[in-house]
Each structure stands twice: as structure tokens, then as C-alpha cells.
A and B are shown apart, each in its own frame.
Chain A
């Protein structure tokens, strides 16, 4: 089955800095890669996703890049703000059922 590795487990940045979270996956058939943000005590929320036919996608301060050959994808957050502090999960899924396998999460801390 699919295996998703996520790094780092904790990321501490100053407000205004950029943050990058990286994930690798094992199943070359994976074709959908969502990213979720989970604030303490709350549900995971989809923040951005990318499909395997696209190399990069941006949404305001958030961008995701995908390298299918190397089987890795990354989340980039620019101009970080304290409200970006949360746990971020990457996921990968393949096939028509789109059942994602999640990484272990990255705790992002943005210091004011």
C-alpha cells in the first residue's frame, strides 16, 4: 500500500518568514495530493490540493509543488502569520476511490 513520509515534524518560524513542508510517497499510481490544516481541537480542513497532471498550484500565500519522478510534493507558505500556526498534514491517494494516506503531520509554529 501507499506510504507517505512527512518532514519536518515541527517547524518554528518568525512571522513574515516562509515555511516549507515536504512529503514523499511510495505508490507511483498516486494521482491526488491534498493538504490539510488542523488547528488544536478542530477538524482537518482542506487548504489546497494538486493532481498529478499539474506541477504547481498557488492560492494566495499557499503553494504546492509536485515532482512525480522523485515522488515528492511540498507545501510552501509565504509571509507566515500567527494564525497559520497549526498541524499540517499531507496525503496521497490513487485510483477512483480517492482514499488518501496521510503523513504524520507537521506542527507549524509562527512566532509574532
Chain B
């Protein structure tokens, strides 16, 4: 079983630039959720993709966007970067909708550390 992977591991961008983060879900998982984790805080939900459709969105502005591919991997795009966007970005995958007791368990990737200067 392959775990959740993310790329890149670290990224430094300048305010106003755009960034794309990538996530490969765990084998057999059809759902990917993205979280922003600021230092010393819990993960904050950005959005979730289920079978290539957005399945829920947190309180983040439209410049945060994403998509999911047929192989269930996903991208998070952030436009017009701001200094406050500096954080650890985590994705988590789960086998939502599958008929087993583990369908709601989320497994996190290692994260991408984004620094905006």
C-alpha cells in the first residue's frame, strides 16, 4: 500500500506570485482534502475533492483553487500570494464512500512548507 505523497517539500515564493502544490493519494483512496497549518495551530480545512468534484470548502478566498485528476491525485493552486499564506500545506486522502468502516479515516501526506517573502 502506497502512502500519501506531496511535492515539493519546501517552497519559497515572493508576494504576488502563484504556486501549485501536488498530492498523490494513498492507493485505493478516492478523496483528497487540503489543509493549511500555521505554526502552532491545528490544520485548517481548505477544500475537499471527491471523484474529481469539489465536495466542500472551508473559509478560504477564491484565490485558493484546486482540482483532482482521474487517478485521484490533486493540485492546490494559490494565486496572488500574501505573506500570511506562509504555512505548512497538508493533503489527506480517504476512501470516502466505500462500504467499510474505514471510509472516513484520513491519512496525511508529509506536507509542503511554503514561505512567502
Chain B contacts for A91, CB-based, 8 A: 42
Chain B contacts for A105, CB-based, 8 A: 40-42
Least Cβ distance of B58 to chain A in Å?
8
Complex CA distance for A100 and B58, rounded to whole angstroms: 11
Residue of B nearest to A93 (CB): B104
Q: Are B110 and A42 in contact (CB under 8 A)?
A: yes
Number of interface residues of A (CB under 8 A): 23
Residue of A nearest to B108 (CB): A43
Chain B contacts for A89, CB-based, 8 A: 42-43
User: Cβ of B109 < 8 Å from any Cβ of A?
Assistant: yes
Asked, given contacts A32-B104, A43-B108, A43-B109, whether A99 binds B56 with beta carbons under 8 Å apart, the answer is yes
Q: Are A104 and B42 in contact (CB under 8 A)?
A: yes
User: Cβ of A102 < 8 Å from any Cβ of B?
Assistant: yes
Number of interface residues of B (CB under 8 A): 25
| Interface residues of B, dominant DSSP | loop
Complex CA distance for A97 and B32, rounded to whole angstroms: 11
Residue of A nearest to B107 (CB): A46
User: Cβ of B96 < 8 Å from any Cβ of A?
Assistant: yes
Among A42, A43, A49, A102, the residue within 8 A (CB) of B42 is: A102
Instruction: Of the listed stretches B14-22, B44-52, B62-70, B76-84, name the one at the interface; the rest are far from the partner chain.
Output: B44-52
Q: Are A97 and B108 in contact (CB under 8 A)?
A: no
Q: Are B96 and A98 in contact (CB under 8 A)?
A: yes
Chain A contacts for B106, CB-based, 8 A: 34, 46, 98, 100
Which residues of A, 28-66, contact B by the 8 Å Cβ criterion? 32, 34, 36, 42-46, 49
Residue of B nearest to A6 (CB): B42
Complex CA distance for A99 and B59, rounded to whole angstroms: 13
Least Cβ distance of A105 to chain B in Å?
5
List the interface of chain A (C-beta within 8 A of B).
6, 32, 34, 36, 42-46, 49, 89, 91, 93, 96-105
